[in-house]
Each structure stands twice: as C-alpha cells, then as structure tokens.
C-alpha cells in the first residue's frame, strides 16, 4: 500500500462493505466497490458520502486527500485496469457458499500477489480457504462497525495462509491506520465467539420479561464498562447479520447458547434489523435501509 496508486477492492455494499469503504477512502486509499445488486449499487455512493460526513464530524478522518471511489458490478470491470489491487476484501452475507463464490471469482480476476481478505465474523478462515484454488492467499480481517471509529481489528491467520499474504495484510492495515491483533482460527475467533453469545443471552433476558433493552444496556455499560451495551451493539451489527452469525456458531460448535433466541428470530422475521433500517431493539428516526 506504499504505492500511492495502490488500491483496495471491496466486495459487497452492505453495512460492512460501506463501512470498510468509508474507512479506506477517509484514509486516502482508493477503492473499487463491487456490488451485483443494482439497487444497492445505485444507493452505495450516497450512503458512503453520508458515512464520510459522519466520520468527519466525529473527528475520525485524517487531514489527507480523500481516496477515489469507483463502483462496479464486477471485479473484472477495472476501468483503470493498469492500477494494481493490493487486496480484495470480501464483505458479503455471512453464508459460506456465497463467500466462497465471491472469493473464487476474486481469485480468478486478480493476480497471485493480490491478497484475498474475508471479513467473516464467524466462519473459520480455513473452511473457506479449503475451497479456493489458492488457499494461501486467504486471510481473515474482522473489521467492526463503524470501521472508521474502531481502530483495532481482529486478524485471523488460517492454517494455509501464506507469509506473503500476512505481509500484504500488514501493509493494508498500516495504510488504513489500524492495529491488527492476530488470533487463532476457529468458529467466531475471539470477538464473535464471546460477544454474540452475550448478545443472545441479553436478548433472552428481555424475551423473558426480566428487564427492558434499556435496562440491560444501562447495567452492562455502567456496571461492567461495556461501551454501548450489548443490545445497542446488536442493532449496530444488524439483527439479521447477528442471527446468521449465531447459526454459524451453533452449527460449528454445538453450543446451545449460540442458538438464536426466539426474540431475535421474531425481530428478523418482522423486518426489525436494527440501525440500518430504523428499528431493532431501539428506533432510529431518519434511518435509510
């Protein structure tokens, strides 16, 4: 990433794809954002501009020229095809099949020196790598949302991740001004394995009628030092994304504590996905789906 012409590609214009893109652009790193859904693609630039304004208001953007954004429906559509892509960051739905498909296509569209990065929150990196043509190119980097405010990321080196890939991701994180904490591979790694079960238990307490969401978050904030509270955090993650991640953890660990509770499942069925569409455990006036 030391070359000023270097750039990232981000796959997916959902919550995390937009968040990661916002972070990179704010750090002066050019991004090619790839989204196959026409509706998401059409609205992506406006969503990113809103996030960039928010980052500026919160003092999270350095005083550097903003990176250039290109949006496409294909990684192969490299309008400035002479520019190298240092890393492709996959940020699609938490579904192993969809991630493998996206990463396989990314591997075919880029050269062997391009690192493949999965932003999975729960699926073991080596599980994905085992289905790729070049498994040594894959590494996990779990960015938190909003990426432009959270300076530390979880980095997961799979059993097949190569040294060249590790070096590349270190350069990318340096360009993004992010601290990477390297952890071992496995379902949920560290953050999701601990946090998502805690959120599930917090939602179960509300489901049982023993406390409101506000009560749970206040106690966790004021007594235990949780910065936002587990249920506000759940709304920020996206309740649909959280449920997908909990199912991944349940299926791969057998831990019944990771089976999504009925309240979470009902909220997802009712379309209450959290901050991104205006209603979850809390309401968010003016939110845009």
**Tens digits of residue pLDDT in 93-144:** 999 999 999 999 999 999 999 999 999 999 999 999 999 999 999 999 999 9
Provide the pLDDT for residue 83. Answer: 60
DSSP conformation class of 180: E
CA distance linking residue 135 with residue 39, whole number of Å? 32
Closest CA to 158 of 180, 139, 131, 137: 139
Q: What is the pLDDT of residues 63-78, one digit of tens each?
A: 889 999 999 999 985 5
Which residues 6+ apart lie within 8 Å of 140 measured at CB?
117, 118, 119, 120, 125, 154, 155, 156, 157, 158, 185, 189
Q: What is the pLDDT of residues 154-171, one digit of tens each?
A: 999 999 999 999 999 999
Right CATH number for 191-277 from 1.25.40.20, 1.10.3720.10, 2.60.40.1120, 1.10.1040.10?
A: 1.10.1040.10
CA distance linking residue 284 with residue 275, whole number of Å? 6
Provide the pLDDT for residue 209. Answer: 98
Domain 7-183 identical in fold to domain 191-277: no
Q: What is the pLDDT of residues 237-280, one digit of tens each?
A: 999 999 999 999 999 999 999 999 999 999 999 999 999 999 99
pLDDT band for position 289 (cuts 50, 70, 90): low
Tell me the whole-structure pTM to 2 decimals. 0.90
Does the domain made of 7-183 have the CATH classification 3.40.50.720? yes
pLDDT at 79 over 60: no
Q: Where are the extended beta strands (E) located within 69-127?
A: 69-72, 85-90, 115-118
Closest CA to 32 of 149, 108, 110, 93: 110
Whole-number average pLDDT of the chain: 93
Q: Write down the H helix ranges in 150-190.
A: 163-175
Provide the pLDDT for residue 76. Answer: 80
Provide the pLDDT for residue 3. Answer: 44
Would you kindly state where each structural domain of the chain is located, as residue ranges? 7-183, 191-277
């Amino acid at each position: 990433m030391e070359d000023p012409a270097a750039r990232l590609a981000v796959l997916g214009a959902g919550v995390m794809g937009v968040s990661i893109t916002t972070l990179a652009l704010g750090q002066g790193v050019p991004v090619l954002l790839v989204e196959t859904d026409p509706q998401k693609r059409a609205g992506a630039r406006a969503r990113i501009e809103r996030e960039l304004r928010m980052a500026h208001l919160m003092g999270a953007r350095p005083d550097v020229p903003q990176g250039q954004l290109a949006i496409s429906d294909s990684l192969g559509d490299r309008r400035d095809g002479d520019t190298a892509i240092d890393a492709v960051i996959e940020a699609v739905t938490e579904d192993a099949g969809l991630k493998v498909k996206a990463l396989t296509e990314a591997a075919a569209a880029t050269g062997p020196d391009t690192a493949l990065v999965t932003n999975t929150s729960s699926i073991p990196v080596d599980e994905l790598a085992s289905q790729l043509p070049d498994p040594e190119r894959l590494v996990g980097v779990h960015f938190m949302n909003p990426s432009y405010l959270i300076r530390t990321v979880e980095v997961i080196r799979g059993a097949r991740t190569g040294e060249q890939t590790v070096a590349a991701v270190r350069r990318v994180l340096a360009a993004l001004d992010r601290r990477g904490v390297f952890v071992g591979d496995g379902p949920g790694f560290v953050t999701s394995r601990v946090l998502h079960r805690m959120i599930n238990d917090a939602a179960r307490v509300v489901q049982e009628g023993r406390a409101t969401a506000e009560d749970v978050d206040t106690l966790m904030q004021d007594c235990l030092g949780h910065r936002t509270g587990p249920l506000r955090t759940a709304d920020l993650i996206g309740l649909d994304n959280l449920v997908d991640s909990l199912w991944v953890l349940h299926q791969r660990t057998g831990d019944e504590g990771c089976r999504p509770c009925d309240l979470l499942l009902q909220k997802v069925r009712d379309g209450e996905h959290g901050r991104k569409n205006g209603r979850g455990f809390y309401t968010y006036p003016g939110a845009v789906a």
